[in-house]
Structure 1
Amino acid sequence: MTPNAYRCVGCSLEYGIPMKLRVYEGATELRMLTWPAWCQQCEAPVLAEYLPSPAAILAEARALRRGDEIYAYQISSDFYLDKPEYLPTELARLDQLMQWRRTRKAPSQCLDCGCTDLMFASHPEASFWHPGCGGLLQPRYTVCAGIFRLPLETYSSEGIKLSSRIVTC
């Protein structure tokens, strides 16, 4: 789950992370993988593109196929181990992700400003160091239920934002 805010335990600053849906363009839209990072230009925690290596994608697909409950999933989820009817769809998504990743040339970038000077958290739900004061930025979550209107942003395969529209989900 992606945090919707970070709060620093050192200086008490709180940073909001806007909830958005992001996809790469194509015949079938590929959901963008995002990861918390500190952006040097924004001087704030942000979501950035997460570009797993082809080896990481392959390792994750292999772990899913063998039903590995100990593997530390970062691209997919161990949710699929309990829901085998969804596994073929998830493996197809990982295959699509692998095809996209092999052609991607641009580095990861901040999804707010496009900067590539980023310090990534060790895990999508991990706390990380606050360069502003040396404290620890802790993720905060708000659990919501219902129907939402969210921005859906479409990006090129190289991470260039092409469009944005509001969708109901």
Structure 2
Amino acid sequence: MVRGMDSGGRVLQLIKALEDEQFADPSDDQSELPPRTATSTISAAVAVAAETKDVIQVLVDEALTNGATWGEIAAALGLANPSSAHYHYGPKAGRNSPEDREAKLAAQRERIAAYRKTTQPKLELPGLSALEAGRRLGVDRRTVKQLALRGEIETVTVTSASGKESMRYLLPEQQPSASE
């Protein structure tokens, strides 16, 4: 009998039955099972707990599919709040296969690309960004901005469809000549 527990408890009976299936009596030399030890009941209890957690996970997933909220699930699990239930039984990165995650990412990329095609036409912008101009001149983008402030590089302000203004830099080879 386990101290502090009623030996007739259903969970303890289940653990003892599992222990009988997984471990042999120490006097049985013919069994292929490992011999029962002082800790074999603990091993059986851990196996029951792991199996129970898996069953609870399936039941939580089923409840969510059928419209249950995390608050209702937390109450059913005896947890303090919905976030505790979500932490223990919510979607986890490790629960999806790599193929599932890759398929979700691919679908997300397609949605983003489709959105960009319909909402943001590609504009041909005049000049270069500060970074691009700096690369061509072999200087830092901050130097390009300083050259523009001193008037050594011509600039153009471009407004996007969303209303955002950005500065573009016209290098000498991009500037319209006086004869044009």
Q: Same fold (TM over 0.5)?
A: no
Query: Which structure has the larger Rg over C-alpha atoms?
Result: 2
Q: TM-score, normalised by structure 2?
A: 0.23
Q: TM-score, normalised by structure 1?
A: 0.23
More helix by share: 2
Answer 1 or 2: higher relative contact order, Cα 8 Å, separation at least 6.
Answer: 1
More strand by share: 1
